[in-house]
Amino acid sequence: MAMIIRFLFLCVMCGLHMIVLAGCVSGSPKLTVRDSRVVGNELRLTVETSVSHSTFTSHGSTVSDVASYCVLVDLKSSTPLAHRSRVIGPLYNYTAERSDMAYNGVDFTERDRQARAATPRIFFDDLGELVRLKAAGARYQREQLDFASRPPRWQAVDMQSLPALSLWRTIFSSSGRWAMDYELDVPHLYDMRTGEQKADPWLEAAFIDYRSRARTNGTLANARLWLNDDLTHLVVTPLAGFVARDGTPSTFENVGRQFNADDYALDYVRPDSQSRVVPTHFGMDGGTHALAGGLFMINGEPLLLHGASGTANLSKLNGETAFHSPRLTDIPGRIRSSKGRNSRLSDEEFEKLASVYHFQKIFDQPESKRLVFLEYDPKEFTPYINFVWGSVDVIAWYYQEGRIEYQRLNLKDVFSSRSGRYHASNAEDIAE
């Protein structure tokens, strides 16, 4: 009997040892929204399904079984999501593992680089077309997915270049049509529909002037830059609420005068060579500082989008408010309390936290007189809250009427989980 017990004990110990050596690998299915666009009343998404692997013996994690799909949603319909959406794909499949860092854009190993090379470049352009770029020598074959054909199929459009944009010194215009890379000595403007570089001496000079001033002024160095699609305004908005080391509000200089960063911004206006100072007055709602969120041409006038404490506002560049929204706090928050909530976080503080949105995309639809906000991938993290994962929030603000429409789309209604990963329900195959 003692020998049997000893044998069983050794078997258990050997099993535990093998588990430790194996690292206790666990896998969990994931849904990731990679890109988005709103075209009329249709929401267009690229969604990736994958499996995330982690071990108890390693700080690293890997991702495998990546498949991409295009999801089209009718935003005007009130029927269940499964009835008002189309799922097309897969756009591509890649089953081998890569590091989690590589999956999110940073390659470290040869395995990561192979995964990157095997993943096609697929994105929505500023018109909402789903584009695939296929390497063809030094250039790329641009293809668009024809949604109208049944089955959908890729259609060749033309050849184009792919600009090598710097990571930290590139900004895009409001719609994403234009990209300005100001890392180089002479900034480069690119038309992202074709990949071609466009000469624009006035805009290049504006960026050179801003860059030289930002090198000697931390307030401007930490500012956000906004470029409208007409390329007539480059607006520089310092981050409101920052203070200098002595506790005074941060400032910047223009034509020999100092300006409070909480109340003013810089505006480069074509064809003027000298920047202007424009009032912003973003401090509002009892001193809560607002954050600028975009520059849009509305009714022929440049308006800055900003908001704080659950509000959204469009302001003229003279500081006047053109449009003001109802409070967004009436919309269900993206976060909910977890069981392990910090006892030091009061109900009031949590409610403030729960009303904060971090929009991934903001689209201007002038034909409908509305802005459409999308949120689907919260970047903030705290151990005291749980985000509502696997969903997309769509908020339409009809700024002239002051009306808000809201809907939350649960992607799990069109992607079912089985056998340890998500599978697209009723996906339409793409024609060869």
Model confidence pLDDT, tens digit, residues 268-313:
999 998 999 998 865 544 444 556 788 999 999 999 988 765 678 8
Number of domains into which the chain is organized: 1
In sequence order, what are the residues at sequence separation of 6 or more whose Cβ sits closer than 8 angstroms to the Cβ of residue 81? 73, 409, 410, 413, 414
The neighbour count for residue 92, using CB atoms within 10 Å, is 16
Q: Is there a cis peptide before residue 271, judged by omega within 30 degrees of 0?
A: yes
Lowest mean pLDDT among 12-26, 48-62, 77-91, 339-353: 12-26
Flag whether 344 is in a domain.
no
Q: For residue 218, give the amino acid letter.
A: G
53 found inside a domain: no
In this model, does residue 56 exceed pLDDT 60? no
How far apart CA 45 and CA 124 sit, in angstroms, is: 9
130 is a domain residue: yes
Residue range of the domain that includes 145: 121-162
- Which is higher by pLDDT, 286 or 170? 170
Structure confidence at residue 390 (pLDDT): 80
Q: Residue 230 pLDDT more than 70?
A: yes
Phi, psi of 326 (to 5 degrees): -65, 170
Separation CA 174–CA 231 (nearest Å): 10
For 388-424, the pLDDT digits (tens) are 668 898 989 999 998 889 898 999 999 998 888 899 9
Across the beta sheet with 178-181, the strand order is 170-172, 178-181, 188-191, 196-198
Closest Cα partner for 276 from 217, 318, 223, 219? Answer: 318
Query: Mean pLDDT over residues 368-394, rounded?
Result: 70
For the chain, how are helix, strand and coil distributed in percent, rounded to 5?
15, 45, 40
Whether 148 maps to a domain, the answer reads yes
293 or 36: whose pLDDT is higher?
36
Report how far residue 27's alpha carbon sits from residue 37's, in angstroms, rounded to the nearest whole number: 31
What confidence category does residue 98 fall into, taking pLDDT thresholds of 50, 70 and 90?
confident
Token pair, residue 257, equals 């005068």
Question: What pLDDT, on a 0 to 100 scale, did the predictor assign at position 148?
Answer: 93
Pairing of strands 283-284, 170-172: unpaired
**pLDDT at position 14:** 45
Is 171 within a domain?
no
Q: Maximum distance among all alpha carbons in the chain?
A: 95
For residue 388, what are the CA distances in angstroms to 71, 99, 337, 408, 409?
19, 25, 11, 10, 11
Tokens of 6: 């000893």
Task: Examine residue 31 and state whether it is found in any structural domain, yes or no.
Answer: no
Q: What is the rounded average pLDDT of the residues 117-137?
A: 90
For the chain, helix (H) and strand (E) counts, in that order, are 6, 33
Higher-pLDDT residue of 144, 354: 144
pLDDT at 3 over 60: no
Determine contact, residues 73/414, Cβ cutoff 8 Å.
no
Can you tell me whether residue 354 is helix, strand or coil?
Answer: helix
**143 domain-assigned:** yes
Cα angle: 427, vertex 67, 22; to 5 degrees: 135
For Cα atoms 182, 265, 212, give the angle at the middle one, nearest 5 degrees: 35
Domain assignment present for residue 46? The answer is no
Q: How far apart are CA 198 and CA 101, in angstroms?
A: 34
